[in-house]
Amino acid sequence: MKRVFIVGVVLLIGIGLLFAGGAREEPVRTVEFWYHLDDPEARLDPLIEEFEAQNPDIRIDAQHVPWDAYHERLITAVAAGNPPDAAQVKLWWQPQLVELDALQPLDEYLAGWNGVDDVFDRIWELTRYEDGTQYYMPLQMVILYMYYRVDVFDELGLEIPETREEFLDVAATITEEIDDMYGFGIRGARGGHDYWGTFVLSSGAEFFDADGNVVLDSSEAIEANQWYIEMYREHGVSPPTTPADGFVEVIDNMLTGRTAMTIHHIGSARQMHDQFGDDISAFVVPAGTEGRWTSFGDEQTAILATDPDVQDAAWEWISFLATAEYNQMWNDISGQVSINISNEDVDYGEIQRFLEVTTASADYAGVLPAHPEIASFVESTWPAEMQRAFEGEITSEQMMRNLADHFRD
Amino acid sequence: MRSVTIKRKHDLYPYALLTPAVAGAVAIIFIPMLFSFVLSFMNYVLHRPQDHAFVFLDNYRRALGDGVFRIALRNTFIWIVGVIGLQVSLGFVTALFLNRRFAWRGLARALILIPWVTPSVITALMWRFMLDGNTGIINDLLVRVGILQEYVPWLAMSSTALPAVMVALMWQGFPFFAVMILAGLQAIPTELYEVADVDGAKTYQKFFRITLPLVMPVLLTTILLRTIWVANSLDIIFIMTGGGPGYSSYTLPLYSYIRAYRGLDFGYAATIAVYLTILLIALITGYVVKVLKSEDMY
């Protein structure tokens, strides 16, 4: 009898504590957030701590995912019905994520958010989906430009090239005049479509016409592509390893003095400056026959959660990351440029010159078209066809026809 | 009556022991295999759930008309024959060497296993660095000894990319052949060589009349095992060349992987995998038939 009494008292106290706790504390919502930073040692901890202090009912479970596997992991997680609640995303994944009905439209949230006007208009334009819906929240401004060796230009008395012809002359001069140095490091492997776009999409090549027909194999596109192929095959201004050169090789070639120019964004500026000091700088990519085009190597955030409560919590997190103070913190960690107008005057110190070129390039920044096949174009079709063309296995015309068929099929 | 019960218990005992292993194999091998087989008859592009449907043999027909599939199929044959051929040759020479008496033989037998125990990722990265067209040590050595006039971008040329990866896999896999063949060599009675010596047999005659025939059963089994592993391996190719330049180092498993995880076309990727399975089953069947015939002879 005594034992029954004790058990009864313990149960009553336990139930009482349970209800008392429930009445005092709000339920904590956890937002699983996938992200990637080029520097594997960089951490989001300061941002998360600040956010959680401001939002005690939300916990951020941030998971770093390697870029190489990011796209496949994200899409398979969505298809398996187990996506992260929010994620850092790229524009060319957007059509696939829309097809999978994985993205939460942000328009209603944005209508009540007071930070809209502090984000550059151009970024809203570039990130808005083709049907006018805003699924992506701007996060960082990644615009590609041309790195160049100031000392090499000075030594040879070269001017910064404005057009692709001038650029080719400069690259050829460097290749000819300096032993073991090539004028331009072309990225021929995966990810090199940004380089290709700079010269081909600025010279008359387009993916689709106004009616949505594929026109990648138009005579203008074939000619522009031929010019690009000849830079490597005929003029030899890029190292012989070009067809296999990916990000690591292209940056290594620049850092080791194997090449004098290459295309990348401000994410490499610190490394370049550490290696060359004032002997490295940057300029806006040269103009093609139809003007300039550079890649908006974007990264945004999006909400993928299906639970409305978690969606709201995810919105709190991604809008926090887009507000000026915290967006600058994010970009200090990622090494990129803030999307906020009020951060325009932030001093980047010794790499300020690269920030200025990034801003100057914004007017020419473009994105690949929103098409469900654009991801596989970037991931596998473009690299394979480009490498075949560089190798001389196929002509420019065959390459562009194969690229066009990728979208026609 | 009691003895019958005990006998029944004993009869069931092996099955009880096997059940966990069989259940595991069914769960993680056979069910996914069956699912892949079903997928191969479907249009199953991951990001288009609304279009998922049975298309029966369409994927199989599509593969036959796919130029990249034909390149990958051709490369798969070159890959298997080339890698196995190189591994057998180097493995045999190494085994013959290790079968002789010399100082530090025990240490040599242990060291020879290093490539085999090196993880594929490390092997691939190591060879990628050594073959680098700008800074690779292989280019450096070949230029220094005068074989090359200038550095060769081995992994950036379609004519050399696949052979370069084959050399890397040969390096990793030959110790397995060496060890297996060495075991076969040590099982050959020395009396046979003594009799051959008495009969005045030359070295090559002893090799072709005694060594090779007696090692052959071990060799064939090892070749069969390695063929299956080599045919399915894609990690080294993926890390060293990614299949490129172009499609020059695509093999069927790599093409299947790229279709699945870069193109998200799981239906077509499964079809490519089924074609590879058919190819391997044909090889194994050929081997089994050959073994059965040779057993009949004895």
Which tens digits make up the pLDDT trace of B224-272? Answer: 999 999 999 899 999 999 998 999 999 999 999 999 988 889 999 999 9
**Which residue, A299, A17, A366, is CA-closest to A140?**
A299
What are the pLDDT digits (tens) for A73-111?
A: 999 999 889 999 999 999 889 999 998 999 999 999 999
Q: Can you give the pLDDT at residue A2?
A: 57
How does pLDDT run across B40-72, given as a tens digit for each residue?
999 999 888 888 999 999 999 999 999 999 999
* Closest approach of A313 to chain B, Cα-based (Å): 26
pTM of the model: 0.85
CB contact at 8 A, A200 and A221: yes
Given B47, B135, B158, which is nearest A99 (Cβ)? B47
- Any chain A CB within 8 A of the CB of B47? yes
Q: Which residue in chain A is spatially nearest to B157 when comparing CA positions?
A: A391
Partner residue facing B158 (CB), from A188, A372, A391: A391
> Which has the minimum average pLDDT: A17-31, A196-210, B84-98, B243-257?
A17-31
Q: Is the pLDDT of residue B136 over 80?
A: yes
Q: Across the interface, which of B47, B48, B134 has its CB nearest the CB of A241?
A: B134
Q: Which residue has the higher pLDDT, B80 or A1?
A: B80
**Taking CB atoms and an 8 Å cutoff, what residues of chain A touch B134?**
239, 241, 249, 252-253, 256, 258
Give the nearest partner residue to A391 out of B68, B157, B262, using CB atoms. B157
Is residue A164 within 8 A of residue A286, CB to CB? The reply is yes
Q: What is the percent of chain A with per-residue pLDDT over 90, rounded to a whole number?
A: 70
Measure the CA–CA gap between A324 and A316, rounded to whole angstroms.
Answer: 14
User: What number is the ipTM of this complex?
Assistant: 0.80
Interface contact A253, partner B, CB < 8 A: yes
Q: Which residue has the tokens 């006007």?
A: A117
Angstroms from A361 CA to nearest CA on chain B: 30
pLDDT over 80 at A409, yes or no: no
Confidence of residue A22 (pLDDT cuts 50, 70, 90): very low
| Residue A51 in tokens | 């956010």
Please name the member of A99, A376, A383 whose beta carbon is closest to the beta carbon of B263: A376
**How near does any CA of chain A get to the CA of B274, in Å?**
21
Is there a contact between A239 and B134 (Cβ–Cβ < 8 Å)?
yes
What is the predicted pLDDT for the residue at A291? 94
Is the CB of residue B129 less than 8 Å away from at least one CB of chain A? no
CB pairs under 8 A between A and B: 94
Q: Where in chain A is the domain with CATH 3.40.190.10?
A: 29-142+297-358, 145-293+366-408
Q: Which of residues 187-226 of A touch B (CB under 8 A)?
A: 188-190
Task: Render pLDDT for B138-182 as a digit per residue (tens, 0 to 9).
Answer: 999 999 999 999 899 999 999 999 999 999 999 999 999 999 999
CB-closest option in B46, B157, B242 to A75? B46
Q: What is the pLDDT of residues A361-378, one digit of tens each?
A: 988 988 898 888 898 899
Cβ distance of B153 and A79 shorter than 8 Å: no
Find, in chain B, the residue whose alpha carbon is nearest to that of A102.
B47
Domains of chain B: 1-39 (no CATH), 40-297 (1.10.3720.10)
> DSSP state, A237?
-
Q: Within an 8 Å CB–CB cutoff, is residue A314 touching chain B?
A: no
Taking Cα atoms as reference points, which of A199, A272, A194 lies closest to residue A232? A199
Interface test with B, best of A380, A381, A390, A406 (most B CBs within 10 A): A380
Question: Is the pLDDT higher at A125 or at A172?
Answer: A172
Please answer yes or no on whether A75 and B49 come within 8 Å at the CB atom.
Answer: no
What long-range pairs does A215-218 form, CB within 8 A, spacing at least 24? Answer: A215/A404, A216/A400, A216/A403, A216/A404, A216/A407, A217/A397, A217/A400, A217/A401, A217/A403, A217/A404
For residue A372, list chain B residues with Cβ-Cβ distance below 8 A.
47-48
| Residue B57, CA distances (Å) to A73, B40, B64, B73, B254 in order | 29, 8, 11, 19, 22
Summarised one tens digit per residue, pLDDT across range A138-184 is 999 889 999 999 999 999 999 999 999 999 999 999 999 999 999 99
Among B39, B45, B46, the strongest candidate for a mutation testing the A interface, having the largest count of A CBs within 10 A, is B46
Report, as an integer, the average pLDDT of A235-248.
Answer: 94
Q: Is B246 within 8 Å of A385 when comparing Cβ atoms?
A: yes
B246/A241 CB distance under 8 A:
no
Q: Which residues of A touch B153 (CB under 8 A)?
A: 239-241, 243-244
The 10s digit of each residue's pLDDT in A189-233 is: 988 999 999 999 999 999 999 898 999 999 999 999 999 999 999
pLDDT at residue A131 above 50? yes
* Averaged pLDDT, A41-55: 91
Q: Do the Cβ atoms of A100 and B156 come within 8 Å?
A: no
- Which among B135, B244, B265 has the least Cβ separation from residue A243? B244
Any idea which fold A29-142+297-358 has?
D-Maltodextrin-Binding Protein; domain 2 (3.40.190)
What's the CA gap between A46 and A51, in Å, rounded? 9
What residues of chain B lie within 8 A of the CB of A103, using their CB? none
Name the residue in chain A with its Cα closest to that of B159: A391
Pairing outcome for strands A29-35 and A86-89: parallel
Chain B: residue nearest A100 by CA? B47
Mean pLDDT taken over chain A: 90
What percent of chain A lies above the pLDDT cut of 70? Answer: 93
Using CB atoms, which residue from A241, A372, A387 is nearest to B133? Answer: A241
CA angle at residue B101 from B95 to B106, to 5 degrees? 70
What are residue A136's phi and psi, to 5 degrees?
-105, 140
Instruction: Tell whether A241 is within 8 A of chain B (Cβ).
Output: yes
Q: Provide the CATH topology of domain A145-293+366-408.
A: D-Maltodextrin-Binding Protein; domain 2 (3.40.190)
Distance, in angstroms, between B131 CA and closest chain A CA?
11
Instruction: In whole angstroms, give the CA distance from residue A258 to residue A240.
Output: 11
Give Cβ neighbours of residue B244 (< 8 Å, ≥ 6 apart).
Answer: A189, A243, A244, A383, A384, A387, B161
A286 touches chain B (CB under 8 A): no
Can you read off the two tokens belonging to residue B187? Answer: 């099982």
